[in-house]
Structure 1
Amino acid sequence: MRHRKIKNTSVELTELGFGAAVIGNLYRATPPDDAATAIEAAWESGIRYFDTAPHYGLGLSEQRLGAALRQYPRDQYVVSSKVGRLLVPNENPQGIDSEGFVVRDDLCRQWDFSRDGVLRSIEASLERMGLNRLDVVYLHDPDDHWRQAAEEAMPALAELRDQGVIGAIGAGMNQSAMLARFLRETAADVVMLAGRYTLLDQSALDDVLPAAKELDKSVVAVGVFNSGLLSRLRPTDDLKYDYQDAPPALVARARAIADVCAAHGTTLPAAAIAFPYAHSHIINVTLGMRSREQVTRNAELAGQPIPEGLWDDLRAQGLIRADVPTAENAHGRSPRCL
């Protein structure tokens, strides 16, 4: 699997990444053995970039990921985690987490983008994972905390990066406008863009992607299935879009895209994974995977060639925006490692 470098840093990511939120029991419990074999399958598939966060399962994702990676040489993989939510004792536990993870709520999340909060969060993440360093650190969902995130958290991360403690820094969010601000107004090297550059939503073309191109910075794309609507060969009415029931109009549009994909001899999920790579500053697509079967399927989808004319036909039919960049090769990827 090819690698791409986070621009202006020494950190290289495999083009496909392993998103570890689901092994933190997102929405439903993932047995420990399934989580371990999923990471093992990812390694066997050539994936060397693994993303997690304290938020995911109140630390469970970090614990499981660290334990599974311990058998591999540390210099052969890249790990990213996030700051902004400290895990603290829960003084009023109800028995189960209230933010979508099937775990006990003995801990709770506390927003904190202060310098001290950043340092404490990183130290706790390293302890949970049993690692001596993080390669990439993102500010996690700072939507309502711009000032503290930009003026305290990001400078703290920049200091750690400049000292060589961290390889690259950035922010990860479900919106694109503020990510553009982080690229333009802070020391961020890379942003993690969730759901805003997909076959169903290209709004990132209005802000964060032009900023990345202008400033020669990097973007990691996540949420490329938009919570599931783009994950099936033929979308059904009961699928989710951005964590909610998918509106009928979007289901119909996803089916229309699937029809065009089929006419070109490919599939909707394969096209959904390949689509972001057509933009020169998107260096990685990271997918959440909770089992060996999911890893194998996604790695196979990511390896499928995409006919060059697919994007042209989708543009011509108004199914993607007219200003979506043309893929540089048939797979929608740059022909060289960046």
Structure 2
Amino acid sequence: MRLLFRSVEAQRHRERGLVAGHLYVLRTGTRRRKHGGRKPPVLGHCHCGWSPAEDEAQRAVRKAIDWGVNYFDTAPWYGQGKSEVVLGKALGGVARDSFYVANKVGRYECDVERMFDFSGRRTLDSVRESLAKMRLAHFDLVQVMCLHASQNGIRERCGLVSYGAKIFREVIEKSPVELDTVLTYCRGTLFDDSLAEYLPFFERRRLGVINAAPLGMGLLTSSPPPDWHPAS
């Protein structure tokens, strides 16, 4: 795995052992499917519609690694840190250069008054806390979560996370800094393919696109969507 840094400051953050707001970009080869197209080794580790015991969750992660999955997505918001702890244990003993971890900042507490914090200080603290929970020296990607809730704007290089794709275009066009990735969920599915409308724009900007929740938060499975995310 070869890491290419977008700025000297990002390099310094990397040497300190964390990605502090600045994203350092991964340049790796992608495998080809036999029937054409790229085969991205991606699986998000967040809300998947079940609550397995910790040991079962760890076994699932190890099995995923055995099957070639090497990209894991988590955040302090998921289980208020539990997701990070469990995933960190599951990745223990696995060669660090064989997987990627994407983390998020910006959304933390269940209490509405303290749910969001996009300040620089909280962002740095969050990255350090998450690294400690996962027992990692660095993250491969740090993303700003729930972009629609941010009141402070985007001041650093990072990935963006939001439910819809429309907001990305406005932020990307107005951002004074270069962004690297976008993540949206439930917008590239059998019942909603609105993400496709924005793909040419993202491609022109050379942005990585992460299509989360392709099964519609469980809507396209035998299990219903979570209660907190009802269909309209």
Shorter-chain TM-score tier: 0.7 to 0.9
**Contact 2:185/2:211 (8 A) holds in 1:** yes
Give the match for residue 215 of structure 1: 205
Q: Does 1:128 align with 2:136?
A: no
| Structure 2 alignment gaps of length 5 or more | 7-24, 31-38
| Count of residues in Structure 1 that have an aligned counterpart in Structure 2 | 200
**Contact 1:83/1:121 (8 A) holds in 2:** yes
Counterpart selection for 1:51 from 62, 66, 73: 73
Q: TM-score, normalised by structure 1?
A: 0.53
Question: For residues 299-331 of structure 1, what are the alpha-carbon distances to aligned partners after superposition, in whole Å with 9 as ceiling and x for unaligned?
Answer: xxxxxxxxxxxxxxxxxxxxxxxxxxxxxxxxx
Counterpart residue identity of residue 19, structure 1: G
Give the match for residue 220 of structure 2: 230
Q: TM-score, normalised by structure 2?
A: 0.75
Q: Give distance in 1, aligned partners of 2:168 and 2:65.
A: 30
| Structure 1 alignment gaps of length 5 or more | 88-96, 100-107, 159-168, 233-237, 248-338
**Contact 1:183/1:212 (8 A) holds in 2:** no
Over 3 Å counting, the alpha-carbon distance change for 1:62 and 1:191 in structure 2 is same
Q: Give distance in 1, aligned partners of 2:218 and 2:163.
A: 15
Q: Give distance in 2, aligned partners of 1:20 and 1:196.
A: 18
Counterpart residue identity of residue 130, structure 1: R
Task: Point out the structure with max Rg over C-alpha.
Answer: 1
Question: For residues 134-166 of structure 1, what are the alpha-carbon distances to aligned partners after superposition, in whole Å with 9 as ceiling and x for unaligned?
Answer: 000110112121x4132x4xx2xx3xxxxxxxx
Counterpart residue identity of residue 210, structure 1: P
- The secondary structure found in structure 1 opposite 2:80 is coil
Counterpart selection for 1:181 from 170, 189, 192: 170
Give the match for residue 230 of structure 2: 244
Give the match for residue 51 of structure 2: 29
RMSD: 3.0
Q: Give distance in 1, aligned partners of 2:108 and 2:203.
A: 33
Aligned-pair identity in percent equals 27
Q: Give distance in 2, aligned partners of 1:109 and 1:62.
A: 20
Q: Does 1:63 align with 2:68?
A: no
Give the match for residue 116 of structure 1: 121
Question: For residues 250-286 of structure 1, what are the alpha-carbon distances to aligned partners after superposition, in whole Å with 9 as ceiling and x for unaligned?
Answer: xxxxxxxxxxxxxxxxxxxxxxxxxxxxxxxxxxxxx
Question: For residues 111-142 of structure 1, what are the alpha-carbon distances to aligned partners after superposition, in whole Å with 9 as ceiling and x for unaligned?
Answer: 11111121111111111111110000110112
Q: Give distance in 2, aligned partners of 1:221 and 1:38.
A: 21
- The secondary structure found in structure 1 opposite 2:142 is strand
**Contact 2:26/2:140 (8 A) holds in 1:** no
- The secondary structure found in structure 2 opposite 1:134 is coil
Over 3 Å counting, the alpha-carbon distance change for 1:131 and 1:109 in structure 2 is farther
1:1-338 → structure 2 map (5 Å cutoff): 9-12=25-28, 15-22=40-47, 29-86=51-108, 110-145=115-150, 147-150=151-154, 152=155, 155=156, 158=157, 169-186=158-175, 187-206=178-197, 208-231=198-221, 239-240=224-225, 243-245=229-231
